[in-house]
Chain A
Amino acid sequence: MKHKIPPTSTKPIEAAVPFWRDAGKRAIAFQIVALFIVSGASYYLFSNTQANLARQSIATGFGFWGKEASFEIGESLIRYSAADTYARALLVGALNTLKVSFIGIILTTILGSLVGIARLSSNWLVSKVAGSFIELMQNIPVLLQLFFWYAVFYESFPSPRQALNPIKGVFLCNRGFIFAIPETHSAHAVMGWMFLAVLVGGWFLNRWGYQRQELTGRPFPAGRITAALALFLPLLIWALYGAPTAMNIPELRGFNFTGGLTVSPEFGALLLGLVLYTSAFVAEIVRAGIQSINRGQIEAAKAIALRPGQVLRLVIIPQALRVIIPPLTSQMLNLTKNSSLAVAIGYADFVAVANTTINQTGQAIEGVAMIMVVYLFFSLTTSVFMNWYNKHMALVER
């Protein structure tokens, strides 16, 4: 122990130090008391809960997972009906949460970066518009924004029969946003795989190009070649398959549309609200990241005759990312956590499904625990990634 009184030769003095003046012993005692209080409180709550559950004859445990859920879910990525089990319903909810978070994160990153760069623009108008957007979005609660967009959807848009039809194959009505998609064709899967293959190949090409530049000093335009191939090869496959152009165009049947792809008002409002709200914060992060770069860095890059594009790609972005990524990840996590507000506008995310489950089974503890575990899982995975990234990107100093 650091604060322990150094042992002295005279024994009586050491003995005279009572234990409550010995920092080491006091620390141990203090921790024991703290642990005792925490475990005592937990035990008290636990025994109360046990008694209450027994008295109200509420089942415990996760036995309900295997039972029939008997409630419908509006939209689902996997096949689901009311006859399926609670476990499957919860899986549907979790997938819906992942879906809105995934799409939201991509859109937020794009919009946030654009607004952040616009905020730094030398163009007064662009900068001011971006600034007002940031202030407005940051200072209005996200739940209110969700309600607002939901109200816009179901109050301002007409019924399917009078749906707005701005472009052929695109409809806007209070049942959502419906648009035509290409008819499924065997070519699409091959095109997708080709695209992935080009990306993987491009990664290796890039590595090889980098090594060659290290050795010979001659750069290799791996990025451009990959981009060109990623665009060209899938198109080639599409042409080889006979260029299928059949579209699945939505049609009005009775009171609703069939065919095409529908973005429900709930999903649309949730996505719009989350993206607009979070991108304002992302914009501020991006702005701060870019501003954090020392002017000298840019001047030095220009002095060694890098082109403006190269200055951006080789000097500014790598350094700005180091500042941007950690707070950006926490914003992405915030978006995921805020997607739980879906329950307020009726999108069937994990919290909404868990909430229905709680209401039907009465097993509140298991329900809330599941919500917490799922979100903790997201958070912990993110922080594991963050730690890895920080180590990977940390400045290697002399």
Chain B
Amino acid sequence: MTEATTAKRAQLKPPISNVGVVGWLYTNLFSTWYNSLLTIIMLLMLAWSVPPLFQWAFVDSLWNSSAAACRDIDGACWSVIPNNFRFIILGFFPEGQEWRPILAMVLLLGLVIYSKERSRWKKSLAWLWLINLIVMGTLMYGGVLGMPVVETAQWSGLPLTLILSFFGMIVAYPLGILLALGRRSKLPAIKTLCVVYIEMIRGVPLISLLFMSSIMFPLFLPEGVTIDKVLRALVAIILFAAAYIAEVVRGGLQAMPRGQYEAADSLGLNYSNTMRLVILPQALKIVIPPSVGVLLSVFKDTSLVVIIALYDVLKTTMVTLSNPEWAGYSKESYIFLALLYFCFCYAMSSYSRRLEKELHTGH
């Protein structure tokens, strides 16, 4: 065919079933008979379930009313949230001092958002985190700069959830790295200790460790010595998370080619320098995305402290619901809480996926 003949022939439009809305519908929803059937079943199910839910949540609902007004409606009583917002989020933190936990949370979340960019991952960032954690701790505990002391028993709500998960994760990480190195060690005694520890912790539910921290740990201490409840739960979470981090880090260590070890050996580096300068920087880079995954599950798992009666954000919600005035609006409160957790967790998991893509510099 020559140029001339093509030019003469009028450009045919693609068939209607291939382009535009119809084309999209055809390829994505009705391509085969069973796809059409599936689509119709799905649409019927959505039509059956969504409108009543919508009616309940948005049409028949009250958003900011008194508890008494809620008794007369069929829909959702979202008013339970604004009316108890302060208690759900901050719990028993003393009146008039609310700015302290709020500032601490803002600092933490600000730093988390700041740390997202990989170009900012430098040594100074680690120092910034350390300073931030100290400032957070000071803000929460007080006792300096004219801030009255707030005992940890009064730490509750969202700040407690954030402190347990972030402090827990940050302390657990180095411990996890040590455990992973121990598990890969050639020294039989060290290796056995680490393997036993990791497998034991991973084999039992977190709740048994929390029980241990709350009811068994006091028996371990010499007479007269007590450690407060929040710290004990934090220790349990750290011990738990460290075992999982160790497995994640071990994955990274195993992925290192032998040549890296041999090259470090041939340079005459000793064990600690080999690890510090050659192996760990590369291995840890690989395991950042799964580490975010561990942080995510630790964040979700902190909700288990409810069972040992720490007042995290789930427990403060339950306390609100035990108030006869607001009893019976559990669904609304739990949906609000689920939304709160979802925002945090979804941000973390999509960040982890993004990092995975960015860091995947292999072939």
- Residues of chain A touching chain B, judged by Cβ–Cβ distance below 8 Å, are 27, 30-32, 34-35, 38, 45, 48-49, 51-53, 55, 121-126, 129, 135-136, 138-145, 147-148, 151-152, 155-156, 337-338, 340-341, 343-344, 351, 355, 358, 364-365, 367-368, 371-372, 375-376, 378-380
Given contacts A49-B220, A140-B342, A143-B303, contact A124 B203 (CB under 8 A): no
Is the C-beta of B292 less than 8 angstroms from some C-beta in chain A? no
**What's the minimum C-beta distance from B199 to chain A, rounded to whole angstroms?**
8
B208, B218, B342, B345: the one within 8 Å of A375 (CB) = B208
A30, A49, A145, A337: the one within 8 Å of B219 (CB) = A49
B193, B220, B314: the one within 8 Å of A144 (CB) = B314
The closest CB in chain A to the CB of B30 belongs to: A123
Given contacts A34-B190, A123-B29, contact A148 B221 (CB under 8 A): no
CA distance A358 to B208 in the complex (A): 12
The reply to whether A31 and B189 form a contact with Cβ atoms under 8 Å apart is yes
**What's the minimum C-beta distance from A143 to chain B, rounded to whole angstroms?**
5
**What's the minimum C-beta distance from B254 to chain A, rounded to whole angstroms?**
15
Q: What 6 A-B pairs come out closest when comparing CB atoms?
A: A151-B330, A379-B203, A124-B28, A139-B345, A31-B189, A337-B205
The closest CB in chain A to the CB of B344 belongs to: A139
The reply to whether B204 and A142 form a contact with Cβ atoms under 8 Å apart is no
What chain A residues lie within 8 Å of B31 (beta carbons)? 122-123
**What's the minimum C-beta distance from B165 to chain A, rounded to whole angstroms?**
11
A-contact bits for B185-225, CB 8 A (1 contact / 0 none): 01111100100000110111111100110011011111100
**What's the minimum C-beta distance from A292 to chain B, rounded to whole angstroms?**
16
CA distance A73 to B110 in the complex (A): 49
Is the C-beta of B54 less than 8 angstroms from some C-beta in chain A? no
The closest CB in chain A to the CB of B42 belongs to: A125
The reply to whether A139 and B205 form a contact with Cβ atoms under 8 Å apart is no
Interface of A (DSSP majority class): helix
What chain A residues lie within 8 Å of B28 (beta carbons)? 122-125
A27, A156, A380: the one within 8 Å of B187 (CB) = A27
The reply to whether B42 and A340 form a contact with Cβ atoms under 8 Å apart is no
The reply to whether B300 and A152 form a contact with Cβ atoms under 8 Å apart is no
**What's the minimum C-beta distance from A53 to chain B, rounded to whole angstroms?**
7
Is the C-beta of B152 less than 8 angstroms from some C-beta in chain A? no
What chain B residues lie within 8 Å of A48 (beta carbons)? 219-222
The reply to whether A143 and B306 form a contact with Cβ atoms under 8 Å apart is yes
Is the C-beta of B114 less than 8 angstroms from some C-beta in chain A? no
Given contacts A121-B38, A123-B28, contact A144 B337 (CB under 8 A): yes
A-contact bits for B68-101, CB 8 A (1 contact / 0 none): 0000000000000000000000000000000000
New A-B pairs, 16, CB < 8 Å, besides A52-B219, A124-B29, A139-B341: A31-B188, A51-B223, A125-B38, A129-B42, A139-B349, A140-B342, A140-B345, A143-B314, A338-B205, A364-B211, A364-B215, A365-B216, A368-B212, A375-B204, A378-B203, A379-B204
The closest CB in chain B to the CB of A28 belongs to: B187
Given contacts A337-B204, A337-B205, A365-B216, contact A139 B38 (CB under 8 A): no
Question: In this complex, which of B39, B46, B215 has the most chain A Cβ atoms within 10 angstroms of its Cβ?
Answer: B215
Which B residues, 94 to 134, have Cβ-Cβ distances below 8 Å to chain A? none
Is the C-beta of B301 less than 8 angstroms from some C-beta in chain A? yes
What chain A residues lie within 8 Å of B216 (beta carbons)? 364-365, 368
What chain A residues lie within 8 Å of B334 (beta carbons)? 144, 147-148, 151
Given contacts A144-B341, A365-B216, contact A340 B207 (CB under 8 A): yes
What chain A residues lie within 8 Å of B330 (beta carbons)? 147-148, 151, 155
The reply to whether B341 and A368 form a contact with Cβ atoms under 8 Å apart is no
CA distance A276 to B140 in the complex (A): 37
The closest CB in chain A to the CB of B329 belongs to: A155
CA distance A139 to B353 in the complex (A): 14
CA distance A143 to B219 in the complex (A): 28
